[in-house]
Amino acid sequence: MTIKIAVADLQQFSSTLLQAADVPKSEADIVAENLVSSNQRGHDSHGVVRLTEYVEQLRTGELVTGVELVTVSESPSILATDAKFGFGMVQAVKLIDRLLPKGREQGIACGTMQNCGHVGRLGEWVERVAKAGLAGLMAVNDNGVLQCVAPPGGTQPRISTNPIAIAVPTGNQPLVLDISTSAVANGKLLIKHKADEPCPPGWLLDANGNPTTDPAVRFRDPRGTILPMGGEQSYKGFGIGLLFDVLVGGLSGGFCPPAKKSASLTNNVLFVIWNPERFVGSRHFLGEADRLIEYVRSVRCKPGVDKIRLSGDRSSQTMQQRLAEGIPLDKGTWKALVDLADELSVDFPVITGS
């Protein structure tokens, strides 16, 4: 069974659920917009499936509302902050708003956050920077607590999925790349697990290091592992994840694995912004970006391929389709939202089913 809900209705429903859990409306709206935006673009692993997790974290104090983004250190081009366990989406907006003026003035700016709630889809934030005419890179680790990926040849997880995102402005829409350094984001396993569906081959190994398609191996002991980006023997994928773990944890003031026993499962964030105008000029940057994109798209296609697609093309197409048809939710995600709504006495939105 698949449930479909209109984008606006799902966003209102999500915000109402959070408000019923004592989240201020201003913060609930930001979080709901980010989650539903991920669903709308086809990134369901970073969508409303996270709501039950957030509400539980609010109850345990792992997430806190109404907190400031506290400055740890600052210079004209650097900003290190402590998010104080606030919602990652709320604090990410604050970080970007403070970094953009630095980037415009200095040409380059770098910011970090420690003790930050889940920031959601990284592409959302770098795209925001690119729409302002600057280029951005964002990377996240899980404070050394969540370990999902084993090194090539190993059977025990040592680092997390450690996603990175890059966006550049162009003469048209920003060009955005948003990837995990593992074969798949942990949230996609959560989606499969809730839907009681197998994973595609090439995502997982069980606790003995054998290939499996059972997502439950990530949620029971002894834990299985997610493969690195590029496959079981890919030192490239694991190496990128390893190095970014050091950069994010080391520069933010958070932890790399193995975290201290007192460490909380939070995001640490690294954000870098470049202003092309302060280098050789935005006109040159945009011209080269557009020229390269056009050149890549002009390549002769293989039989059965109608056109060349670049990063972000599929999500843009999905966004338009789901805006028109509604956002589909699998039975596991919908049941979790129904249970949460019942618990919080929140009315359901209008749905269609198939």
> Each residue's pLDDT tens digit in the chain (354 positions)?
678 999 999 999 999 999 999 999 999 999 999 999 999 999 998 999 999 999 999 999 999 999 999 999 999 999 999 999 999 999 999 999 999 999 999 999 999 999 999 999 999 999 999 999 999 999 999 999 999 999 999 999 999 999 999 999 999 999 999 999 999 988 889 888 888 899 999 999 999 999 999 999 998 889 999 999 988 887 899 999 999 999 999 999 999 999 988 999 999 999 999 999 999 999 999 999 999 999 999 999 999 999 999 998 999 999 999 999 999 998 889 999 999 999 999 998 877 765
> CA-to-CA distance for 21 and 39, rounded, in angstroms?
22
Backbone angles phi and psi of 8, in degrees to 5: -65, -40
Contacts of 354 (CB under 8 A, 6+ apart): 1, 2, 4
> CA-to-CA distance for 234 and 201, rounded, in angstroms?
16
CA 147 to chain centre: 16
Looking at the DSSP bridge assignments, the partners of residue 178 are 165
Cα angle 157-158-164, degrees, rounded to a multiple of 5: 105
Rg (CA), the chain: 20
The one-letter code for the residue type at 221 is D
Backbone angles phi and psi of 313, in degrees to 5: -65, -45
pLDDT of 353 reads 60
pLDDT of 354 reads 53
* b/e per residue 211-228 (b: at least 16 CB within 10 A): ebeebbbbeeeeebbbbb
> CA-to-CA distance for 174 and 132, rounded, in angstroms?
10
pLDDT of 196 reads 87
Locate tokens 């429903």: which residue?
13
Candidate CATH numbers 3.90.1300.10, 3.30.70.260, 2.60.40.1170, 3.30.1370.60; the one for domain 67-183+227-298: 3.30.1370.60
Q: What is the pLDDT of residues 315-345, one digit of tens each?
A: 999 999 999 999 999 888 999 999 999 999 9
Backbone angles phi and psi of 205, in degrees to 5: -125, 145
Alpha helices per DSSP H over 161-281: 186-195, 235-252
- Number of helices (H) and strands (E) in the chain: give both, helices first: 10, 13
pLDDT of 343 reads 96
pLDDT of 348 reads 86
Which SS3 state, helix, strand or coil, does residue 165 take?
Answer: strand
Assigned CATH class of 1-63+312-354:
mainly alpha
Q: How do the domains of the chain map onto residue ranges? A: 1-63+312-354, 67-183+227-298
CA distances from 337 to 14, 56, 125, 313 (A): 9, 13, 26, 29
pLDDT of 1 reads 66
DSSP 8-state assignment for residue 301: P
Token representation of residue 243: 């190095």
CB of 165 within 8 A of CB of 177? yes
pLDDT of 232 reads 81
CA 101 to chain centre: 24
H or E element at residue 175: strand 175-179
The one-letter code for the residue type at 291 is R
CA 304 to chain centre: 32
> CA-to-CA distance for 192 and 123, rounded, in angstroms?
22
> CA-to-CA distance for 55 and 48, rounded, in angstroms?
12
Q: What is the pLDDT of residues 129-172, one digit of tens each?
A: 999 999 999 999 999 999 999 999 999 999 999 999 999 999 99
